[in-house]
Amino acid sequence: MSEISNLCDVIIFGGHGDLAFRKLMPALYHLCNDGYINEHSRIFSTTRAAITQEEHLELVKTKLKEFLAQGQFDEAKFENFKARLHLVKVDLGNVESYEELSHLLGENPQRERISYLSTSPDFFGAICKALSVWRLVTPQSRVVLEKPIGRDLVSSRAINVEVLKYFEESQVYRIDHYLGKDTVQNIMALRFSNRIFTPLWDASNIDHVEITVSESVGVEGRWGYYDEYGAMRDMIQNHLMQLLCLIAMEPPCSLDADSVRDEKVKVLKSLRPMSAADIQQKTVRAQYTKGSSNGQIVPGYKEGEGVANSTTETYAAVRVDIDNWRWNGVPFYLRSGKRLRNRNSEIIIQFKSIPYSIFANKGSCISQNKLVISLQPRESIQLKLMNKIPGLSEQMRLQQVDLELNSPTNEERKPEAYERLMLDVIRSNPTLFMRLDEVEAAWKWADIILQGWAENIVPMKSYSAGTDGPTAAVELIARDGRSWHDE
């Protein structure tokens, strides 16, 4: 038992959708059972489906068994959890259909209300409007928006304008689930609580930064969604950009939400906009073709449902330049793709070479120091340093070894990103959520590249499923005399 937070009503719009069952319910199950949510709080799941409360509870139970990690489902804990679960029939686009929800929430008018919009963004405006029409938006209400918030600056603005007709900006929590990962939060701890990194964290000491998010899975049946977005919109504009901000931002004056977000926005506003020539030189887009993944032959992207003529990239790589004092001349290389050899997310901070090696004629080459922040599949932080190979050899032989940061913890289990984020919404702490100006600054930068791609100024490359991606991504970084960390 850790703490009892505010009494609240959580309403999951799209409560029978994939995300709700895969991530949100497991997060709430843990938070309730670990004592973070008041036992009198209620969790409403909305659906159009004609099912009963009993059937809803059975379905949640089945899904929890499916999506909780092995050994985490517990019958007694489910009994405790299920007392808070309620089904409510809502057709998202039909304002009349919110009547039952309105009655249920009206039973506790003073209670803090968290509306989690786990739906397509097409419904965000309609849901917020319906909540307002039924007078369900109070100063204690918060609304959580799932990604994607638009597919460019214009559509993102349109969605936000709709939401902000009914909620204040301070009530809006835009999720980027990468920010809920412990190791991602640890980037701030690492940078701002360790003096040794302070003088090293700039262009005079850092050669370049790599941010990679590779997935071994394909589109998993979500062609309708994915084909509208692609790797740049689905991953780079949001998740990888947020990671870049945490690495590049100046120390905030405090940990409060606006101080942190002010610093992130400054980074986003310093991203160098790309010219047409830059887009050709510094960006790569590609689609996967048939190949072999985990020992199985898998079809190419265009063999998916209704995407035979698709021009959507399943892989994107880009060199980002940040025009400010700290980062002038330090490229950030970002890449992300689907159906790659490995599932792997990591950030590499590569330091510059030493000015001169006294070991060169002793048969040792010196590798550059690297700080490796791994987010997936394992969360870890390693500093790669040179060290003498022990022994009596006349030659001073060196090797690169890892200094690994291990945090001892009494927690039995590492919380999932969605637990952290859901709890922060309950605690009214928006630090890990994106403010409107962050979203817009990131779109402004990405839109220029997307426009160039739409005009075909960069050819679409291909890569076989199950490989490390297109060779054009290797060439992208090789043009600068560098190579990806894993090559």
Interaction site with ligand NAP (CB under 6 A): 14, 16-20, 22, 47-49, 91-93, 118-121, 146-148, 225
Least distance in angstroms from the C-beta of 351 to ligand NAP: 34
Least distance in angstroms from the C-beta of 50 to ligand NAP: 10
Q: Which is nearer to ligand NAP, 47 or 364 (CB)?
A: 47
Distance in angstroms (rounded) separating the CA atoms of residues 293 and 305: 19
Pick from 241, 209, 150: nearest CA to 330: 209
Pick from 66, 81, 79: nearest CA to 29: 81
CB 231 within 8 A of CB 314: yes
Q: Which is nearer to ligand NAP, 17 or 466 (CB)?
A: 17
Q: Which is nearer to ligand NAP, 49 or 396 (CB)?
A: 49
Least distance in angstroms from the C-beta of 25 to ligand NAP: 11
Residue whose structure tokens are 């001349």: 329
Least distance in angstroms from the C-beta of 180 to ligand NAP: 12
Residues marked as catalytic: 239
Q: Which is nearer to ligand NAP, 48 or 414 (CB)?
A: 48
Pick from 167, 154, 88: nearest CA to 124: 167
CB 107 within 8 A of CB 59: no
Least distance in angstroms from the C-beta of 218 to ligand NAP: 14
The CA-based angle 391-396-401, given to 5 degrees, is: 75
Q: Which is nearer to ligand NAP, 159 or 476 (CB)?
A: 159
Q: What does the radius of gyration of the chain's CA atoms come to, in whole angstroms?
A: 24
Least distance in angstroms from the C-beta of 48 to ligand NAP: 3
CB 177 within 8 A of CB 311: no
Q: Which is nearer to ligand NAP, 92 or 317 (CB)?
A: 92
The helix (H) or strand (E) run that includes residue 335 is strand 332-337
- All residues at 6 or more sequence positions from 365 whose CB lies less than 8 Å from its CB, including other chains: 357
CB 417 within 8 A of CB 177: yes
Distance in angstroms (rounded) separating the CA atoms of residues 140 and 151: 30
Q: Does residue 53 sit in helix, strand or coil? A: helix
Least distance in angstroms from the C-beta of 13 to ligand NAP: 7
- What DSSP assignment string belongs to 124-193? HHHHHHHHHHTT---TTEEEEEPSP--SSHHHHHHHHHHHTTTS-GGGEEE--GGGGSHHHHHHHHHHHH
Residue nearest to ligand NAP (CB): 17
CB 197 within 8 A of CB 190: yes
Q: State both tokens at 371.
A: 């700080």
Q: Does residue 245 sit in helix, strand or coil? A: helix
Q: Which is nearer to ligand NAP, 225 or 325 (CB)?
A: 225
Give the up-direction half-sphere exposure of residue 128: CA atoms within 13 A in the CB hemisphere. Answer: 23
